[in-house]
Structure 1
Amino acid sequence: MRKTVGVGSLRKVHGGRKNRGSAPSHHVDASGSVDRKIMQSLEKIGVLEQDEEKGGRRITQSGQRDLDRIARTTIEEDEDDE
């Protein structure tokens, strides 16, 4: 995962191809509304924080700890299923 991520970079990642009829297709960025609201919600619960130096948002220490714990339990459950 990248250190800092802004809404603009997520729009590029989630964008797709625009069908322009008989003209060749071109990439278009996705709407930023959903990405922005998700990032704001994660910021409210303390998973993300604003990066004042570079702009965008980055994951907090407690957020990284929570994600690591969730990943570990997921792997353990997957191993138990096999």
Structure 2
Amino acid sequence: MKRIITANVNGIRAAERKGFFAWMKSQNADVVCVQEIKAQEDQLDDKFYPEGTHTYYKPAEKKGYSGTGLYCKQKPDRVIFSPW
């Protein structure tokens, strides 16, 4: 059985400062979905790509708004970004 969890982080950079990635690791989830990342990928350094995790971000078109992220223990067969 796979463990999948989701979290509204209300800003991935703020969540990281508050210990999000340590919490995420402690959950031992196979997949973690996050919403409201509020960052563009060029604003994220290595700490936002946890070692041993396949990481995917889909930022909002407008900086500082919404966006989603996906952290997977195993590499997915494919990741599709929906147009809506």
State the structure with bigger RCO (CA 8 A, min sep 6), 1 or 2: 2
Question: Which has a greater percent of helix?
Answer: 1
Question: Which has a greater percent of strand?
Answer: 2
TM-score by length of 2: 0.26
Q: Which structure would you say has the larger Rg?
A: 1
TM-score by length of 1: 0.26
